[in-house]
Amino acid sequence: MKKILYLLLIINISYTLSYGQNNSPLELNEAKALIEAYISPLGNSLGAGLNNGWYNSAKTHKTLGFDFTLTTNLVLINDNVKDFKFQDIIVGNAFNDTASSTILGNTDGTSFDVLGSDGTTYEVTLPSGENIPVIIVPMLQAGVGIGKSTDLNIRYLPSLKFGRAGRVGVIGGGIKHDLMQWIPFLEKLDVNLAFQGGYTKVKSNIELIDPSGNVNDPALVDLDISAITANLILSKEITIFTPHVSIGYNSSNTLFSVDGKYVIDSQAIPVDALTEFNFETKNDLRTNVGLRIDMTIFALQANYTFSEYPTATLGLGINVR
């Protein structure tokens, strides 16, 4: 997360050097676009992880049947989200047309020139990537049958402090509804068909400290992610095995906000213009295949989601019908 602070610093410094008090929408959008291009793959991958692990079967509980499940979602990072191209973000001859690393990438950041108000050309270098090949998103979830072949699911993690990593909390809810009751002729196929939808929100508050010591006051950054998914699930029980397939929709949104000002060599660099903004909402289709293995009241599950951010899920749960 130190590189996020570094990115904010160099963008605000270059913004101040080149534009001063001229805050035209285009110039401000360029600064925001650079921040989003670097950080958004992290938010999108976390959103993909949050949208997985909701189900391991299309079958719903009987009334007051319940389950407790712990899953680990492994979001695999594709090469196409490890860098971004300047020509897709910045318009103008002052910027290179080459690629620069995102926070998930494994290459150095690209340099570009900024013309200061005094006529001096300043070179600004974006931060390198953190070389992240996979993101692990664990999740604890409880579900209960509420009647009418419908399950209610709840996800919750109280806001906990993880050292300098800041405070992180998770809350979410979902529903799964059996569709077979509305399509009687499908009962002859001896399969289960259900609709599932879920919403998960992660709130994080991170204190960013500049390791170089150039920034006297720590900055507080909030990176809040909301993830929504909707799926059609088809499954079939074969003794202790329940294979399932699904097709669905993912959506995630990242809210980025910064508190305070950066103080560099006793000179305050205001960040009012870049204090808070939403990254572009990420929408994509997904398909999922998986298998659940029942062992009395325990259940093992494994599934894989095909999407721009592919995700492998492993889980262990207690299941009482």
If 0-12 CB within 10 Å is exposed, 13-18 middle and 19+ buried, where does residue 76 land? middle
How many percent of the chain have pLDDT more than 90?
40
Helix residue ranges per DSSP H, the chain: 2-19, 25-50
User: d(Cα 226, Cα 177) in Å, to the nearest integer?
Assistant: 23
User: d(Cα 122, Cα 127) in Å, to the nearest integer?
Assistant: 16
If 0-12 CB within 10 Å is exposed, 13-18 middle and 19+ buried, where does residue 158 land? exposed
Looking at per-residue pLDDT, the higher value among 313 and 222 belongs to: 313
Tell me which residue has tokens 């006529």: 119
Sign for the CA dihedral angle at 304, 51, 131, 92 comes to positive
Residues 76-87 have a mean pLDDT of: 88
Give residue-wise pLDDT tens across range 222-256. 778 899 999 999 999 999 999 999 999 999 998 88
Domain count, the chain: 1
Tell me which residue has tokens 């509420």: 146
Q: Helix axis angle, 25-50 relative to 2-19, nearest 10°?
A: 170
pLDDT value at 265 more than 50: no
Give the pLDDT band of residue 206 (cuts 50, 70, 90): low
Q: What one-letter code names the amino acid at 22?
A: N
- For residue 29, give its domain range: 2-320
Q: Give me the pLDDT at residue 25, please.
A: 38
The CATH number for 36's domain is 2.40.160.20
Give the pLDDT band of residue 267 (cuts 50, 70, 90): very low
Q: Give me the pLDDT at residue 252, please.
A: 92
Q: Give me the pLDDT at residue 20, please.
A: 46
- DSSP, residue by residue, 34-56: HHHHHHHHHHHHHHHHHTSSS-S
pLDDT value at 21 more than 50: no
Give the pLDDT band of residue 286 (cuts 50, 70, 90): very high
